[in-house]
Amino acid sequence: MPSYRIGIDIGGTFTDFTVVDGESGTVFIDKTLTTPRAPETGVMHGLERLAANVPGLLSASKEVIHATTLVTNVILERKGAKTGLLTTQGFRDVLEMAREVRYDLFDMFIRLPQPLVPRALRRPVTERVLADGRVLTPLDEAGVRSAAQFFKTQQVTAVAVSYLHSYRNPVHELRTAQILREEIPGVMISLSHEVHPEPKEYERTSTAVVDAYVKSVVEGYLDRLSEQLANRGYQRRLLIMLSNGGTATVETTKRVPVQIVESGPAAGVEAAAFFAKLIGLDRILSFDMGGTTAKLCVVSHGRASRTREFEVDRVHRFKAGSGLPVAVSVYDLLEIGSGGGSIARVNSLGLLQVGPDSAGSEPGPVSYGRGGTEPTVTDADLVLGYLDPGYFLGGEMQLDAAAARSAIESRIGHPAGLDLTRAASGIHEIVNETMASAARMYIAEKAMAPSELTLFAFGGAGSVHAVGLARKLGCPQVIVPPFSGVMSSLGLLAAPIAFERSRAVRKLVKSLDMVSIEQAFNALEREACAQLPEPDQALIERSVDMRYAGQDYSLEIDAGEHCANHDAQGLWQQRFVAAYHELYGKIDDDSPIELASIRVLAKQVAAPPRIEPDSPQRPGIEKSRRPVHFAEVGGFVDTPVFERDALQSGQTLMGPAIVEERVSTTVIGPADRLRVDPSGCLVITLASRPDPVNGISRAGDAATEVAR
């Protein structure tokens, strides 16, 4: 009797599906165009396609896990609820005052993100809680009722409440919520101490506002999707990927929807960590390049670091400080506006520019034939021979190569004075260099070198650009996992069901009352476990945020267990000093160490997906040849093309070569060597120096061999 698990990842261009049969390990995949106006439509369309090949799919499924870009899209498109904000008297303008820092000192015409709540809908309330939690000024309940009536007349449907120091004592926020429910029945309410129970007034207020703004949209979408799944036979809970790599029930997600703002990229990191453990790699650079963006993340010893410094709706898309802060736990990844749909143009200076804006799925690249007129990276890759116009999505979607050539010539070639090949090659090289430049800085900030990392490439466009990116960075090896084109949806099936809770402390480590800290940890564990489907089976991970006194940012340190039973203070300080030294190359012996906050992650770890790729009895042979452009040899080379499913475990290929599968294409450069790992991964070892002569001769005879 089959028992299926389904992963569904909605991206900016495509929606990806992975189905794993828990009994046999058989994997089914699919990819459909995203439907931005009604995301559930694309989801159900893809499931219907899968069900045609897997009878009884939904009724025989024990889990459906979902990642979505819905929250980000609602904010970018400003399609959330009409939202009001209640703040402590004197803090009405915190959303506009922000950090009072210019993200670009030299821009005389600097733009700032538009607050989600206009000033007219921000109402101050008389109340005051001190930093130690004592109430200085009682809550003016009449003022709250007056504000509620004002919101009612303005047809406000969601309210965020953020009072000063409520993370210490939430009594005023809780009472305000009671009054709002009495005065405005059915209103959506987000309380800052529930959404982000930590200091930093601006970040906490911004996060609560984002949560309130998207709550009704997320709730409606998840209810519709759950209903449609149930109508087609799925009788279990729908699970949602969180930004921190865990998963949660629909009920938990609807309660605090801001947690899923980065759910899609988190799924990709989970997939990378899963395969890194599977093939025994300690350090990898996860590279997820889809249709809209590219995401990079360092995964060390099976884990990626997390951060709470995240922004949405950046005015300058990739400049820190130009967006709305969302203080939720997210993977510390680098996001770049470089995807298959990134638009290429000649700017006002006559220079070729690629991205960060994308054609998305509507209308998509010119070659999609859906009305797009601006040339994109995908169009350039098609012109250069990396993609087969008749084999996109396994031949299901035909690409219009003539339209791509015409668009590149008219929009790029003629204005820049370039022929077709140089224009297309320029687009390809610029997007690779853009990613490489950003990645170098990101890797350096992690105190690592690219030569220490294996590039782990996935996403629809990832394996097309992986070798070129790795060569620019200096990474010695590239790994392309099986099902790389839908890898994020597979990552959903590798992630645990998890929920995190935190509490601010802000005390010197040497003066801590460890009995009280243990009690606080226990309370957080109860709160986190209550969000899980099976609380009694939860595994608990404790961590502490520590910093030197006077610093603003902290490091997350493993806290171990039962801190009241041993010298936890000394152990925490040792771990903090070691982590600080590794990251910054020095320590501060003159400053005491402060405990900023404590954290608990409660999770239920499911069995990892069992994937057993088939290996043919004989080595795969080339299925065709076509001219492919390689900049390192200065032109097109007659290149062999192989079908990935036909490659035998242990088989090797010498580049240049193309390996195609239904949902992605892998490009191997001249003199590079590919080996098929028993796990099904393609392991590409880059040549230390490009060798044009040998590259051409090997392409001529398409040398293949089976590793003995």
Query: For 489-509, how does the pLDDT look when each residue is reduced to its tens digit (9 = 90+)?
Result: 888 888 778 888 888 888 999
Exposure string over 111-141, b if 16+ CB within 10 A, otherwise e: eebebbbeeebbbbbebbbeeeeeeeeebbb
pTM of the model: 0.82
The CA R_g of the chain, rounded to the nearest whole Å, is 26
The span from the CA of 482 to the CA of 645, in Å, is 9
Sign, CA dihedral 576-577-579-583, equals: positive
Q: What is the pLDDT of residue 267?
A: 87
- The percentage of residues in the chain with a pLDDT greater than 90, rounded to a whole number, is 47
Distances (CA, A) of 693 to 476, 590, 633: 21, 60, 8
Domain boundaries, the chain: 4-74+221-260, 78-218, 263-338+448-489, 342-429, 497-604, 624-706
- Identify whether the C-beta of residue 363 lies closer than 8 Å to the C-beta of residue 370: yes
The span from the CA of 666 to the CA of 643, in Å, is 10
Residue 683's nearest CA partner among 297, 284, 382 is 284
Q: In CATH terms, is domain 4-74+221-260 a member of 3.30.420.40?
A: yes
Query: For 395-409, how does the pLDDT look when each residue is reduced to its tens digit (9 = 90+)?
Result: 888 999 999 999 999
Q: What dotted CATH number matches 497-604?
A: 3.30.1490
Exposure string over 271-289, b if 16+ CB within 10 A, otherwise e: bbbbbbbbbebeebbbbbb
Q: Which CATH number fits the domain 263-338+448-489, given the four candidates 1.10.3470, 3.30.420, 2.60.220, 3.40.50? A: 3.30.420
- Identify whether the C-beta of residue 319 lies closer than 8 Å to the C-beta of residue 111: no
Helix (H, G, I), strand (E, B) or coil at 640: strand
Using pLDDT thresholds of 50, 70 and 90, give the confidence band for residue 475.
very high
Query: For 400-446, how does the pLDDT look when each residue is reduced to its tens digit (9 = 90+)?
Result: 999 999 999 999 999 988 999 999 999 999 999 999 998 998 898 88
Tell me how far apart the terminal alpha carbons of the chain are, to the nearest angstrom.
38
Does the fold of domain 263-338+448-489 match that of domain 4-74+221-260? yes
Q: At 21, list the tokens.
A: 């049969």
Q: At 183, list the tokens.
A: 């005065």
Q: What is the pLDDT of residue 566?
A: 67
Q: What dotted CATH number matches 78-218?
A: 3.40.50
The span from the CA of 402 to the CA of 387, in Å, is 13
At a CB cut-off of 8 Å and minimum separation 6, what does 181 contact?
Answer: 187, 189
Distances (CA, A) of 522 to 501, 517, 528: 11, 9, 10
Q: Does the pLDDT of residue 688 top 80, yes or no?
A: no
For 155, list phi and psi in degrees, rounded to 5: 60, 35
Query: Exposed, middle or buried: residue 614 (CB in 10 Å: 0-12, 13-18, 19+)?
Result: exposed
The span from the CA of 657 to the CA of 424, in Å, is 19
